[in-house]
């Protein structure tokens, strides 16, 4: 049989891209990931290498200087990067979502202004929906933008921005006074330009500093505090007030495919570590892989890795075909994130006491995998999306 997580029907270009990324992961990420993660150090050299490879412009159209590749290609690249170190995939994920939203919903001027520089990595994107007391109830956003002539004044606090300190363009979802009866129709997306760094980076805009996390280290996760911050009206995404919720949900939909890909990458790496260790570690006179208890674990782990990969690929291909894929993306994210946690835990068990040591890579994966259970919507949110879609499709006439 072929090794796990292989994808049928790829073009030669896709195969070449993946081979290049896989080599980069093996040589430039895996040997350094543990040390960088334990010290919570931003992986600047790795990021510079991804810039040189053109990964920041992977899905940006060629007319704007990108590679013009599909969501599937991007998801498979993310799977490989997450296999090396999930934090690195986080560096490009929010950037990708913002670029996608600008390309899909931006004005011609916004596309021309940002996409060429996003393709090179000169402009780095982040986005923010969540707030300190918001949770999954996106329509209850409190951060508000009030029009003042040709500008808007933003006040409020946003939370959980990946790349919050290292990005210089942030897509921010805020409340505007549209007078619409439904709360989500009163939300608008602004493209906020800002300097990198921490503290008061611009008048009325503070990035307090990195949030200290259990895992997902290296990449910066921050708050964003607005206090009388002024932004030109031309920075409204697509020039459409009240369209922010739909724009963000479209971005999150492709983001869920990305999170599914990250789950696939972590699960694949956990399996690789487990099956390697199980053939090296001996008990009772033979490798533990030859004990049925361990062999069955490996069989179940491999099946989960393969199933999650196939669902992720299906969701990406549906989106590339222009088909609505909210249910399939939700299913892929749900399965991949849950399986990533389960496979990682089984790999941890197989390692025994050594899995608890920071010298072994599986210890890092054990702290990273739980993040995927909540990123881009919890498992419960995915089940809500899936069940609503099912009830529409199977509604009794």
Query: Would you name the residues annotated as active-site residues?
Result: 376
User: Where does residue 172 fall: left (phi above 0), alpha (psi -120 to 50 degrees), or beta otherwise?
Assistant: beta
What three-state secondary structure class fits 224?
A: strand
Token duo for residue 364: 């890092």
Q: Tell how strand 205-207 and strand 199-202 pair up.
A: antiparallel
**Residue 154, strand partner residues:** 145, 229
Residue 366's contacts (CB-CB under 8 Å, 6 or more residues apart) are 344, 345, 348, 355
Token duo for residue 44: 């600047």
Q: Rounded to an integer, what distance in angstroms lies between the CA atom of residue 176 and that of residue 188?
A: 6
Q: Rounded to an integer, what distance in angstroms lies between the CA atom of residue 254 and that of residue 127?
A: 13
What three-state secondary structure class fits 208?
A: coil
Count of CA atoms in the C-beta half-sphere (13 A) of 373: 12
Distance spanning both ends of the chain, measured CA to CA: 46
DSSP H/E element including 154: strand 151-162
> Among 377, 298, 364, 296, which residue's Cα sits nearest to residue 336?
377
* Residues 248, 251, 253, 256, CA torsion sign: negative
Question: Could you give phi then psi for residue 172, rounded to 5 degrees?
Answer: -120, 130
What three-state secondary structure class fits 338?
A: helix
Count how many residues are written for the chain.
Answer: 397
What three-state secondary structure class fits 147?
A: strand
Residue 245's contacts (CB-CB under 8 Å, 6 or more residues apart) are 138, 139, 173, 184, 185, 187
Q: Rounded to an integer, what distance in angstroms lies between the CA atom of residue 188 and that of residue 20?
A: 39
């Amino acid at each position: 049989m072929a090794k796990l997580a292989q994808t049928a029907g790829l073009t030669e270009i896709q195969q070449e891209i993946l081979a290049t990324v896989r080599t980069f992961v093996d040589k430039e990420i895996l040997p350094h990931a543990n040390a960088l993660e334990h010290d919570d150090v931003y992986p600047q050299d790795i990021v510079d290498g991804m810039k040189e490879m053109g990964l920041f412009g992977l899905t940006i159209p060629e007319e704007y200087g990108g590679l013009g590749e599909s969501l599937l290609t991007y998801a498979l690249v993310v799977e490989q990067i997450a296999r090396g170190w999930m934090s690195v995939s986080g560096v490009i994920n929010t950037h990708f979502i913002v670029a996608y939203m600008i390309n899909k919903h931006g004005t011609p001027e916004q596309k021309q202004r940002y996409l060429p520089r996003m393709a090179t990595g000169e402009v780095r994107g982040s986005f923010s929906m969540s707030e300190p007391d918001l949770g999954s109830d996106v329509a209850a956003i409190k951060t508000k933008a009030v029009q003042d002539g040709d500008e808007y004044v933003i006040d409020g606090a946003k939370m959980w921005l990946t790349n919050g300190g290292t990005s210089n363009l942030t897509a921010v979802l805020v409340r505007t006074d549209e007078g619409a009866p439904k709360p989500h129709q009163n939300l608008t997306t602004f493209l906020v330009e800002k300097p990198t760094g921490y503290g008061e980076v611009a008048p009325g805009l503070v990035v307090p500093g990195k949030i200290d996390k259990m895992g997902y280290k290296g990449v910066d996760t921050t708050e964003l505090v607005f206090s009388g911050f002024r932004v030109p009206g031309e920075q409204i995404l697509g020039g459409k007030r009240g369209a922010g919720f739909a724009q963000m949900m479209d971005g999150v939909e492709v983001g869920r495919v990305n999170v599914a890909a990250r789950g696939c990458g972590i699960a694949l790496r956990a399996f690789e570590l487990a099956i390697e260790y199980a053939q090296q570690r001996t008990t009772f006179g033979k490798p533990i892989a030859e004990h049925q208890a361990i062999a069955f674990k490996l069989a179940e782990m491999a099946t989960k890795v393969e199933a999650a990969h196939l669902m992720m690929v299906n969701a990406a291909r549906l989106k590339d075909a222009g088909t609505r894929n909210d249910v399939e993306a939700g299913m892929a994210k749900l399965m991949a994130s849950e399986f990533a946690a389960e496979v990682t835990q089984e790999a941890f068990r197989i390692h025994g006491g050594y899995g608890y040591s920071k010298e072994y890579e599986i210890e890092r994966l054990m702290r990273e995998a739980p993040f995927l259970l909540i990123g881009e919507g919890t498992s419960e949110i995915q089940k809500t999306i899936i069940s609503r879609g099912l009830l529409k499709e199977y509604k009794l006439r």
